[in-house]
Structure 1
Amino acid sequence: MTDFAARLKKVASNPEVFKQFGRGVERETLRYRQDGHLATTPHPEGLGSAFTNKWITTDFSESLLEFI
């Protein structure tokens, strides 16, 4: 088990530790098609939208997906 995996397992076994944080984490990623080009299609409806899902936003472009 890697050091990161061990730390992740420790945090996962005690989720209350996250309530002590005053910061969040944001991860942005580009959506792309199987042929390697950027996706220009709308975001999957199951993810919601910037107005309906507080954890996933779609506010920059159709190709950019943000996890907050």
Structure 2
Amino acid sequence: MVTDQQVRRLFMLNGKDKSRTTAATKAGMDPKTARKYIKIGKLPSQIKSKHDWRTRKDAFEED
């Protein structure tokens, strides 16, 4: 899982380094993952959707 700090570092290094692969390696992530975050331009915390559904019925809920 990639953190916001890693993606911020990727954004910073992407402008300085000649290669996205080098920037991704320095940020500590796979180049494919780096490509994804550079393309969308958002942090992981901004992308993540809230989990608001239940996987099973609440046993303590009254009918």
Same fold (TM over 0.5): no
Structure with greater proportional helix content: 2
Structure with greater proportional strand content: 1
Give me the TM-score of the superposition, normalised by structure 1: 0.23
